[in-house]
A and B are shown apart, each in its own frame.
Chain A
């Protein structure tokens, strides 16, 4: 199944979240195509570790382009249950599809109400169009 950007929830800082396992309360997290396009020339990504605790709105890793380093923020609080560890070696896949192949981590939410505070696609797109 392919995820499309319209189905996702976003932070203003361009991370997306998708409830990939409703029953287990697991959310898949990545960064948006807009973020990838703005960063350009990605060279490195510092990923979290499985078992690591993340907090909504707090930094969980960083993405580095030729020009600069940008922190990545978690849309939800919880525990990292899976990491797309191969992504670092094929960052170019983020240019192709940051919503499927380019997912970054899966988090088991400690508080599902975090999702309610995120932007929907229309609001997020509006933000990007007016950036």
Chain B
């Protein structure tokens, strides 16, 4: 293992519990503890616990923090209420996607509002650099990268809230979807957010780095009779793929605009300007040339990133961006970008899997949608 790799506060726990570790975005991360399918199914049927401390956590304090972020994000920030969370994109001037983020408007225990931006681990350094000139324009905004001083744990699945019940105050457990709150776990500060990246209901917790192991152990203990399972990054990827959620570096990058990615909902153009808004305003009216689609493949072989998508004449009409065997559907699935004309379920498509043509059908995303509890 390379000595330059960063580790999360839970690194020792992972190693002591038999995790296979590998580098991801500069971190030595748990890929799987048991089997990917077992961890995937545990999350779909009971609950999975994920160390996502590698994700970047950026805090903005001060009166005009909302205006600064409103200038940087495709989603409107200035009208956010305390406790709201929004999915947004960060674009460059050409509307290329720099990152996809969650922005939360939180109230500190002292009663002050602040904003928290959760960014992809792989983009954290880029986003922090991108922020610098804008921070200079808003000298009253205090910026802190709190990634290293905190840890982030996701509890996801139909039993996630039940497991967290003995651990968190009622006010945190009763949060609505895409709501967040600064609260406490055993008298220690904890941000609870009703968000996730698995297609399941659940919570994401941010705690101080020194409290991470205690919180993690508490969750594992509280869930031991409810089927809780530590889940690595491999199953996190199959879960998010089934949920049709984009992953930066696969469905998103600087060459893709948010309309192609099917993320028009995450862009508010009306009565505001932000970085990239001029180009996005034009793109919002133009016809899409390429579209993000979901594919279900015949057979058992998965198409991986970069595999060509072909029409019935064998013409390349696009590429797979993410593909895996789906444990829930027991079939190979993929997301792909294809020419708009080919993004038609009536059209027969093939995927070229290392030289072999495999039939694929277009299905609407997401592949998997949980049944809502009442």
Give the CA-CA distance A68 to B237 in the complex, in Å: 12
**CB <8 Å contact, B300 and A44:** yes
Number of residues in B with C-beta < 8 Å to the partner? 17
**CB <8 Å contact, A40 and B35:** yes
Known pairs A40-B35, A40-B36, A41-B37; A66 contacts B301 (CB<8 A): no
> Which B residues are in CB contact (< 8 Å) with A40?
32, 35-36
> Which A residues are in CB contact (< 8 Å) with B304?
68-69
**CB <8 Å contact, B234 and A66:** yes
> Is B180's beta carbon under 8 Å from chain A?
no
Give the CA-CA distance A41 to B35 in the complex, in Å: 6
Chain B nearest CB from A13 CB (Å) reads 18
> Which B residues are in CB contact (< 8 Å) with A69?
301-302, 304, 354
Chain A nearest CB from B21 CB (Å) reads 13
Give the CA-CA distance A43 to B325 in the complex, in Å: 8
Give the CA-CA distance A46 to B300 in the complex, in Å: 10
**CB <8 Å contact, A64 and B37:** no
Known pairs A40-B32, A41-B36; A66 contacts B324 (CB<8 A): yes
Chain A nearest CB from B15 CB (Å) reads 16
Q: Which listed residue, A43, A64, A67, A88, touches B234 by the CB 8 Å rule?
A: A67
Look across to chain B and name the residue whose beta carbon is closest to the beta carbon of A64.
B301
B325-339 Cβ-contact flags toward A at 8 Å (1 or 0): 101000010000000
Look across to chain A and name the residue whose beta carbon is closest to the beta carbon of B238.
A66
Q: Which listed residue, B31, B32, B302, B354, touches A43 by the CB 8 Å rule?
A: B302
Q: Which 7 A-B pairs have the closest CB atoms?
A: A44-B300, A43-B325, A66-B36, A40-B35, A66-B325, A41-B37, A41-B36
* Other 15 A-B pairs with CB < 8 A, given A41-B36, A44-B300, A44-B325: A40-B32, A40-B35, A41-B35, A43-B302, A44-B299, A44-B301, A46-B301, A64-B302, A65-B36, A66-B36, A66-B238, A66-B302, A66-B327, A67-B31, A67-B234
